[in-house]
Structure 1
């Protein structure tokens, strides 16, 4: 299973140890993919967290999907709340049941939401109220929207 992560937080740390797909070219390490096109500088911060963790166990490999990737993703998680669901992320979900889990709603109030893609259809299911840190960047909140 491929588990790309957007945002930075406990979710990333937890998922890195959950038996994510291991690939031969990474010497058995967990592959964690990030979309730099919508996580922005968070990728660099997350790389620092991964580097620190790897000094002890060397089990996590961070791969940047970048803006152009033909990979279709089966599962995706974001630990930051975007103002709307990033279209590039929906485009990269597999049409064969790809799932995205994210906190979705206003700046102050979100619902944990799972979006499932079947063909061109998207189906959303909510799992209760929550409040996450804002996702900031190209597909996140603008700095001026967070002030005040």
Structure 2
């Protein structure tokens, strides 16, 4: 029974991939999977985990089709595919530009603040405290930019 299910999933994935005109590498890149994983799924060597099946199905436009085909054919062991929440994608060049701009603006604003303040900082400790705070805030913002 498991081999039949593997064959069914393999055929659905491979047919949909070929219909879209994707190579196995392109599908792997789009679904953020390893090329070898896609190869093993299409060769019916493994039954993909629900998460990986969902990633492939989303890229191939097969969400409902895969579930219906597998659940109708094998009602005693349905595969539940969880929905993956889409995250906003910021590409690397944008992240680099945002990071550089944030650093530049932070330096300029800190310098402007220090140049306008005649009494601050009174001690080196206050200066280092200010710089530490600015670096910490900058780090948090950069972390948020780069975590996607």
Q: Quick check: TM above 0.5?
A: no
Q: Please, what TM-score do these two structures have when normalized by structure 1?
A: 0.25
Q: Which has the higher helix share?
A: 2
TM-score normalised over the length of structure 2: 0.25
Q: Which has the larger radius of gyration?
A: 2
Compare relative contact order (CA 8 Å, sep 6+) and give the higher one, 1 or 2: 1
